[in-house]
A and B are shown apart, each in its own frame.
Chain A
C-alpha cells in the first residue's frame, strides 16, 4: 500500500523543493538589494531569449546530463559518487590525449574515439574507489572526495610539466587539430535552414547526451545488468541470495558512473575549449548531485533537471554580466536544491503525505 500517488513523488515533491529553493533565493537577492523579479526576467531572457542563450543553456545542460547520469547510476547501486568532478577531469585528459596524439582525420571519427578515451579515463578514475568500496569497505564518499583532489593535483602536474606547449604561459594543452573540432548546433542546424547562433558552444555532444539518457534508461530497466545493479542497490543480502556478485556490481556500477562523468569532457574540452585547461569541469561534477537528486535518479528526470540547471547556469552568467549579482547566486540555488530535495526530503514529504492520507481517509 503506497501512501502517496506516484506522480506526487515524482513531480510534486521535487517541484515543491524547487519552489522552496527559489523562494529562499529570491529572499537572498532581496537581501543584497536587488530585485528578484527583474533578476528572474533577466535570467529567462538571457538563457532562453535567443539562440545564443539557448546555445549556452544547452551547452551547460549537456555537461549536467552526463554528470547527473553518473551520479544516478552509482546511486542505483546504492553508492554516492561525489567524485564526478575528478572523473570528468580525467575524462578531459583522455580527450586531450586522443585529440592531440591520435591521427583523427574527421570529427565523425574523432568523436567516438575521443568519447571512448573520455569514458575510459573517467571510468579508470572511478575504478579504485569502486574497488576499494567493494573489496575493503572503504567508504566511497570519502574516497571519491579524496580522488577529486588527487585528480586536480595530477592534472595540474600534467598540464604544467608535460602537456603545456613550449613557451606557453597557460597551464593548458595546445589547441586540438582542426579536424577534431566538433560541429556546433549552428553547424548542424544550418543545413536544415535553421539559423542558430554561431557563437554559442552547444555542439553535437548535446545529441550524445540525449542518447546517453536513453541508453542509461535501457541499461537500468531493460537489461540484466541494470536489473542486477538496481537489485543490489536495494538490498545487498538479497543480491547475494540471487547470485549477484556484490564486488562485480559495485565495480561495474562505478565504472559506468565514472565513464559517464568522463564523457562530459567531449562537451567542454573537445566541443567548447578545444584544448584542455585547468579546472575545465567547473563544478559540473557536483551539480550532477543536484541534478540526480532532482531528477529522482531517472534519466528522464535527469534530462529535465539538467535543463533546469543549464538554464540557471546561463541565466546566472547573464546576471553576473549585467548586474552586480555575482554568479555565486547559482551556487546558492544549487545548494538549496540539494538541501531540500536531498537532505530535507522528509520535511517536504511528510506534510504532502499527510495531505494525501487525509484526503484518502475522507474519500
Chain B
C-alpha cells in the first residue's frame, strides 16, 4: 500500500467518520444526561430527508440544514415527551422513533417527489461544497506534508470541520461549564440535581435537544455533503454504529473522536476492498462490516476495559409513584 493510497483511505475515513462523530456526540449529550437514545438512526434519517428535500426545493443547502435540524429536533421532542415527561421506556420510545423516521421519510418523499421515496439529486448550492483551506493548492506539491494537508486535511465540507470542532467544544462544555456539571450530575443522580434546586426536566430536555441538533447535522451531512440527495434508509445503520462508538468511547468526547475514526476507517477499508488478503488469510468484507459491532460487544462484555454507563441512564426520574 503506497503513501497516496493511505492518504486516500484516510481521506475517505474522515468523510465517513463525520456523520458517526456527530451522531456519537449527539448520543453523548443525551446519555450523559441520563436519557438513553437508540434513536440516533431515526433522527439522522429524518434530518437527511428534510435537509435534502428543502435544499432541493429552495436551492439552498443552509435552508436544508436548518430544516434537517428541525426534523431531528421534532423527533427529539417526541423522545423527550415519552421518556422525560411521561416517564416511558426510553428504549421503546427510541425504537418507535426509528421506525417512524424510516416510514415517514419514504412516505413523504414519495408524496412530494414521486420518485419512489427519494429526493431528486441535488446540484450546485443545494449541496455542501468542499472547502479548500488556505495554501492547500500551493502546498500540494510539497512531499509528504503536501498530500496530507491538501488532500487529507483540506477539501472537506463545512460540516466535517464543524464536527471536528465539536469534540473540544463538547469536552469544554462538559467539564468546564456549569451546564456541563449539571448535565453530568443529572445523568448520575437526578435527585441530587433536583434537591440542589435545578430542574431535572429542564436539563434533560436541553440535552435531548442538543442531541437532536447534532443528529440533524449528521443527517444533513449524509444527504447534502457525503451524498447528493436522500435515498430510502440512507443512514444504513450508522446511528447504531454511532451508538456502538459511544459505548466504545465510554461516553467521553475525545474517545468518541477516536472510536468514530476507527469505525470510519473500518468502513473506508471495507468500501475500497472487497476482500483483504493478509498474507494468505483472506478477511471477507462482511467481517469488516461486522467489526464495529463485534468490537462493541467485546467492550460491553468488559473483556477490554469496562464501559460504565451514566448511573441514572435509561431510567425516568420518578419522585412519586
Contact = CB atoms under 8 A, between A and B. Distances in A.
Nearest to B41: A145
Interface of A: 28, 31-33, 80, 82, 128, 132, 136-139, 141-143, 145-147, 149-150, 153-154, 156-157, 160-161, 286, 289, 293, 324-326, 328-336, 338-339, 342-347
Q: 6 tightest CB-CB pairs across the interface, nearest first?
A: A331-B103, A343-B93, A335-B99, A342-B92, A332-B103, A32-B111
B102 interface: yes
Interface string B105-120: 0111011001001000
B296 to A, nearest CB: 5
A161 B247 CA distance: 32
A160 B104 CA distance: 32
B296 A157 contact: no
Given A82-B95, A346-B86, A28 B107 contact: yes
B260 to A, nearest CB: 16
A289 B92 contact: yes
A189 to B, nearest CB: 35
Contacts of B276: none
B83 interface: yes
Given A334-B103, A345-B88, 13 more contacts: A32-B111, A132-B300, A138-B302, A142-B38, A145-B243, A150-B293, A150-B297, A328-B103, A328-B106, A328-B110, A339-B92, A339-B96, A347-B86
B89 interface: yes
Contacts of A342: 88-89, 92-93, 95-96
B237 interface: yes
B95 A289 contact: yes
Given A146-B297, A343-B88, A335 B100 contact: yes
B91 interface: yes
Contacts of B290: 149-150, 153-154
A320 to B, nearest CB: 10
A156 B297 CA distance: 20
Nearest to B247: A142
A121 to B, nearest CB: 17
B286 A136 contact: no
B293 A149 contact: yes
B256 to A, nearest CB: 16
B302 A141 contact: no
B301 interface: yes
B139 to A, nearest CB: 40
A281 to B, nearest CB: 15
Contact of B240 (A145, A333, A345): A145
